[in-house]
Amino acid sequence: MTDRPDRRSFLGSAGSLAAVLALPRVREVAAMQAPAIRRAPPAQPAAISSANSLAPVTRTAELVLQGTDTLDAAVEGVKIQELDPKDDSVGYGGLPNADGVVQLDCSCMHGPTRRAGAVGALEGIKTPSEVARLVLKYTNHILLVGEGARRFALSYGFKEEDLLTPESRQKWLVWRANRGPDDDWLQVPDKEPMVVRPTGTINLNVVSPSGDISSITTTSGLAWKLPGRVGDSAIAGAGQYTDNEIGAAGSTGRGESNIMVCGGFLTVEAMRRGLKPTDACLETLRRAVAMSPARLVDEKGRPKFGLTFYAVNKRGEFGAASMFPGRYAVHDGKDARFVDTAYLYERTK
């Protein structure tokens, strides 16, 4: 009697053997077809800000390199200028409204927690950046304004102070005396120069080595403004905006023109589409010009106002663009310096 396998057993054994022999090839093909795991490259730490902020970007970068949270670092950075009485664009010593009262605006966003906080028309508190951060951390709101913002700050132990310095008060007095020849104020002598209507703001955007992002914008707003006027600085999405997966952007200049295009948000969205930070800023500027009413542009279609956008993406690439030639402050994790902005128009004489 021969010990021969029947046909079914033979085929089953042959199939098993074929499967075993083919296994390495199956694994090889599977490996070739498996989706690649995309790992984000390490971020290059960076802090970018307006030209009046070399000290703030330096301090902010130092802190994030030590492991400080990006928003906490940004607040410590802008506080340098908010507490400086010689800086009349923000905080203590900021130029007042038409009634001679300093009203401060600030907003901030924290990328990791996707939260925002802001204050508008805040009186008597030197550091609105700290108050905006408290709104972010401890309330279910985003924006507090006026008397409510002041009382909120006082409840956290802030001291109410007169924010006018002798210098900022004198500038306001000169402006008031020269508003018009038919009012009840005596004209300042010709030898004493008329104070122009300045604007000033600090926007600061920062990315940490781990890729976390925050942004903050603080200002005393347009000098001699109507009491109660709030510009773009207090508005998340306009004065600044952060998406922790993409980047951050913010602005300085004519706040009303920025509000009309939601410039902080629009710039971050341009980076989401793949634009580099500088190109994203330029695109937003073009949109702001296109949205400008006739009274705000000259006969050649150029704006009669200034506006600058600053941006940084998650990789730490940064850039800025302005209507006319300008510069901005940046710290790239190694040193702080001023850099020329990209711009849309040459200045006319």
Give the pLDDT confidence of 175-190 residue by residue, as tens digits.
Answer: 888 776 555 554 555 5
How high is the pLDDT of residue 40?
Answer: 52
Active-site residue 267, yes or no? no
- Give the CATH number, domain containing residue 236: 3.60.20.30
Closest to 194 measured CA to CA, from 208, 176, 206, 207: 176
Does residue 310 sit within a domain?
A: yes
Phi, psi of 293 (to 5 degrees): -70, 165
How high is the pLDDT of residue 66?
Answer: 97
Does residue 289 sit within a domain?
A: yes
Does residue 6 sit within a domain?
A: no
Please classify residue 181 by burial: count the beta carbons closer than 10 Å to its beta carbon, then call 0-12 exposed, 13-18 middle and 19+ buried: exposed
The yes-or-no verdict on residue 83 having pLDDT over 60 is: yes
Residue 112: count other Cβ atoms within 10 Å of its Cβ.
Answer: 16
User: What distance in Å separates the CA atoms of residue 227 and residue 97, rounded to the nearest whole number?
Assistant: 6
Does residue 99 sit within a domain?
A: yes
Low-confidence winner among 116-125, 182-191, 206-215 (lowest mean pLDDT): 182-191
The yes-or-no verdict on residue 231 having pLDDT over 70 is: yes
In this prediction the pTM is 0.84
Closest to 222 measured CA to CA, from 341, 34, 96, 339: 96
- The average confidence (pLDDT) of the chain is 88
| Secondary structure of residue 207 in the 3-state scheme | strand
User: What distance in Å separates the CA atoms of residue 173 and residue 165, rounded to the nearest whole number?
Assistant: 12
User: What distance in Å separates the CA atoms of residue 195 and residue 266, rounded to the nearest whole number?
Assistant: 34
| Secondary structure of residue 51 in the 3-state scheme | coil
Please pick, among 201, 217, 252, 284, the residue that the annotation labels catalytic: 201
How high is the pLDDT of residue 196?
Answer: 52
Does residue 252 sit within a domain?
A: yes
Residue 315: count other Cβ atoms within 10 Å of its Cβ.
Answer: 16
Contact 201, 252 (CB under 8 A): yes
Does residue 31 sit within a domain?
A: no
> Which residues, 6+ apart, have CB-to-CB distance to 336 below 8 Å?
54, 57, 58, 61, 329, 330
Phi, psi of 218 (to 5 degrees): -135, 145
Does residue 17 sit within a domain?
A: no
The stretch 300-312 carries a mean pLDDT of 96
| Token code pair at residue 195 | 């104070």
User: What distance in Å separates the CA atoms of residue 43 and residue 210, rounded to the nearest whole number?
Assistant: 6
Does residue 303 sit within a domain?
A: yes
User: What distance in Å separates the CA atoms of residue 79 and residue 130, rounded to the nearest whole number?
Assistant: 8
Question: What is the number of structural domains in the chain?
Answer: 1
Q: Which residues pair with 343 in a beta bridge?
A: 322
Range of the domain at 245: 46-343
Q: Which residues pair with 328 in a beta bridge?
A: 50, 339
User: What distance in Å separates the CA atoms of residue 190 and residue 173, rounded to the nearest whole number?
Assistant: 15
Distance of CA 311 to the CA centre of its chain: 7
